[in-house]
Amino acid sequence: MTPPPNTEPEAKDAPREAIFISHAAPEDNAFTIWLGAKLAAMGYEVWADVLRLKGGDDWQRKLEDALRHRACKMLLVANPRAVDKQGVRNEIQIASEVARKVGDNAFIIPLRMEPFEAPFLIAHAQYIDFTRGWARGLSELLETLQETYHVTRNASGGDAIWREVQLIHGKTLVSQPERLISNWLSIEQLPEKIRYYEFKGQVSERRAQAAMKDAPWPLRPFQRGFLSFTRIHDLQDHFGPNLPIGQKAQRRVAGFLDTGWDKIGIERLDARNQFSDLARQAFEKLFTERGLRSYELSGTQLAWWGPVDVVPTTKIAFRWGDVAGLRQIQGMSVKRQMNWHFAVSVAARSAPQHHVRIVNRLVFTEDGHKPFDDPAKMHRLRRSFAKTWRNARWRDMLLAFLHWLADGKDSLSVPVSSEEGIVLGLPPISWQVPVSLPVEEEAPEPDDDDPSNDDEPDESSSQGGDGGSEEAGDDD
């Protein structure tokens, strides 16, 4: 059995590389076990009261020693229950003393699970928002730990004890390895450079804006011009003699994402946002060229889907090594007299690694071409139609879609100029985990023309439920 990390008290001058999670027990045990296991799997040294579940050892002494002498950050699981618990308040008090000792005003990081009234000692602490979902909160937390506070990660094997605690808490887990396939596509190759162009002389702002909007390659308006990955010869014909442009500066994309671009006043976070938008434009141009159509969701997000004459209506076979299967990504419901279409939204991210996140969606049409005009009806259908679909089906639909989009190749190049593209690895990023949930042997879920239950109310009278979501696999 792998021992817990640092089971003996550390010298008082030992490096502070651990993360301590303070939570209300037992109310927040499940979340703390989930979070601790995630952080430990990422290579962080993690301590929390739930380690007592393992039994043995003097955990009270070890936990207090970890907080006082090992921790570089304390994560506070923050909700009204937790902040009223005396044990949690004691840990906040100790952490505040440690913060003063080490001179770290951001030593305590609240994880906002619900709205709560912050105790005086953490009234000004910047929290990580987990109210929109654990996965979204974890993504923000990982970026903060890595990019803002540079918390050390290592391969100390400390994740073994967290797996043990998970097995104790989740009795259904079995020690059977399982491969988990994510909805992240790794960016294997970035464009080499990003360029800043300015319009020369006095030009019509209205014409410049219109020309930038209709540009043949991704670009972002910036100051007196725009940012783009493409060389000037890809743009001159488009802007023409009435909108002359000149390159003012260029920077390697890798450095742009790492530190920003001081020369023209772009900080790192803004640089990453600029890159994300340029990548989104590149994807949308690729989708359009492949015949996909966009459906506007809430906010500014788009879902991209294929009409019946663009995407195969039969099952699509996919294979990348041992990742293989067969799945339909659009169909027709005779019962409801409509077509359903698998759809995707995309977002490029720079942390914890360069990747593109694919979010699964569903779009419904009257005839395979025209989406329903009624947003309320579309919303009801998205909530009710696929509520019985399991994660395996969503995963396989995504894999089938990507196989079709990439023409069966093991990479997908999304053009950003006539010479370069953002190259993505296929299949999506996956992990081999040592435990899994036992499942009964059963036939693969069929591609029904209508997967919903026969006794389900028609969508015209249904108010929708909290069942399956079209966003299965979303880690945001």
CA–CA separation, 79 vs 174, rounded Å? 32
CA–CA separation, 116 vs 304, rounded Å? 38
Placement of tokens 């409801």 in the chain:
336
Give the sign of the dihedral formed by CA 139, CA 383, CA 328, CA 415: negative
> Confidence class of residue 433 from pLDDT cuts 50, 70 and 90?
confident
CA–CA separation, 375 vs 137, rounded Å? 29
**DSSP helix/strand/coil, 72:** strand
pLDDT digits (tens, 9 = 90+) for 196-227: 999 998 889 999 999 999 999 999 999 999 99
Question: Which whole number is the average pLDDT over 459-476?
Answer: 35
- pLDDT over 60 (residue 10): no
pLDDT on residue 168 = 59
> Confidence class of residue 55 from pLDDT cuts 50, 70 and 90?
low
Give, in order, the Cα–Cα distances in Å from 249 to each of 269, 362, 420, 424, 455: 19, 42, 19, 27, 64
pLDDT on residue 450 = 56
* Domain covering 18-171 in this structure, CATH number: 3.40.50.10140
Those residues whose C-beta lies under 8 Å from the C-beta of residue 272, and which sit 6 or more positions away, are 257, 349, 350, 351
Give, in order, the Cα–Cα distances in Å from 349 to each of 300, 344, 356: 17, 16, 6
Question: For 307-441, where are the E strands, in sequence order?
Answer: 316-320, 323-327, 330-333, 338-349, 355-365, 411-415, 421-425, 430-433
CA–CA separation, 305 vs 293, rounded Å? 5
CA–CA separation, 153 vs 42, rounded Å? 7
How many CA atoms within 13 Å lie on the side-chain side of 437? Answer: 3
> Confidence class of residue 4 from pLDDT cuts 50, 70 and 90?
very low
pLDDT on residue 123 = 86
Give, in order, the Cα–Cα distances in Å from 77 to each of 1, 15, 21, 270: 29, 24, 7, 29
Determine if residue 150 is left, alpha or beta; phi over 0 gives left, psi from -120 to 50 gives alpha, anything else beta.
left
Placement of tokens 């900080």 in the chain:
267
Q: Which amino acid is at 264?
A: I
Map out the domains of the chain as residue ranges. 18-171, 190-277, 279-433
CA–CA separation, 98 vs 224, rounded Å? 49
Closest to 453 measured CA to CA, from 379, 389, 369, 357: 389
The mean-pLDDT minimum among 2-6, 102-106, 178-182, 232-236 falls in 2-6
Placement of tokens 């023309």 in the chain:
449
pLDDT digits (tens, 9 = 90+) for 340-350: 999 999 999 99
Those residues whose C-beta lies under 8 Å from the C-beta of residue 426, and which sit 6 or more positions away, are 185, 320, 402, 403, 406, 409, 410, 411, 412
> Confidence class of residue 387 from pLDDT cuts 50, 70 and 90?
confident
Those residues whose C-beta lies under 8 Å from the C-beta of residue 408, and which sit 6 or more positions away, are 318, 319
> Confidence class of residue 50 from pLDDT cuts 50, 70 and 90?
confident
First to last CA, the chain: 34
pLDDT on residue 334 = 87
What would the two tokens of residue 108 be? 């305590």
Please provide the size of the chain in residues. Answer: 476
- pLDDT over 60 (residue 159): yes
